[in-house]
Amino acid sequence: MKTIQLKLLLVSIFIVSIFPTPIFAQEDIFIKEFLERLESSKSYLILVAETMPEDQYTFKATPKSMNFAEHLMHISWAMDWHSQSLMGGRKARDWNTDTELQVADKTKKEMIDKIDETFNKTIDFIKNFDVDRLGERLDYFGQSRTKRQILLLLTDHITHHRAQMLVYMRLNGLKPPRYVLFQ
């Protein structure tokens, strides 16, 4: 009896050891840390959007700039494009005809709800993304970038537009919400 148990144990160890990756998926540290950062970014951006009065959503620093609302919805559109289209392979939305992620006639609340929804969809997409594909390369505006780099570029893009929104708040005499770390 002990011989059979020993043989079963040795066969089990052998089977587990021949696979190059673990049978049970391990959490990828890059994805874990990235999602923590994205969740913080979401919370901070929503706080920024809630703090700006709705009547100032049309404010822009210069005539050629995006206004506050356009920056907010542009972040939503870019998250959707980076995750669902560029990384996920879904056909990209047409910025000229698809108004779901544009300001259109949305209220402040509707825009905040839409940015929250888009962050959640992006977070779910990344949670379920096959980490073995992070090294795949894509064309990113003429540059070859890995999908890991695409995720980092997405967070840079969010930060870039949110920073402009913070300046718009200052230009309107408002104190932006205190900076939140890890985003």
Question: Residues within the annotated binding site?
Answer: 74, 157, 161
| Binding-site annotation, residues for a divalent metal cation | 74, 157, 161
Scanning the chain, the segments in alpha helix (DSSP H) are 2-18, 29-51, 68-80, 108-127, 147-171
Residues in the chain: 183
What's the token pair of residue 41? Answer: 């970014």
Measure the CA–CA gap between 108 and 69, rounded to whole angstroms: 8
Amino acid at 132: D
Please give the Cα distance from 152 to 149 (Å, whole number). Answer: 5
119-124 LR contacts (CB < 8 Å, sep 24+)? 119/38, 119/41, 119/42, 119/45, 119/79, 121/79, 121/80, 121/83, 121/84, 122/38, 122/79, 122/80, 122/82, 122/83, 122/84, 122/154, 123/35, 123/38, 123/39, 123/42
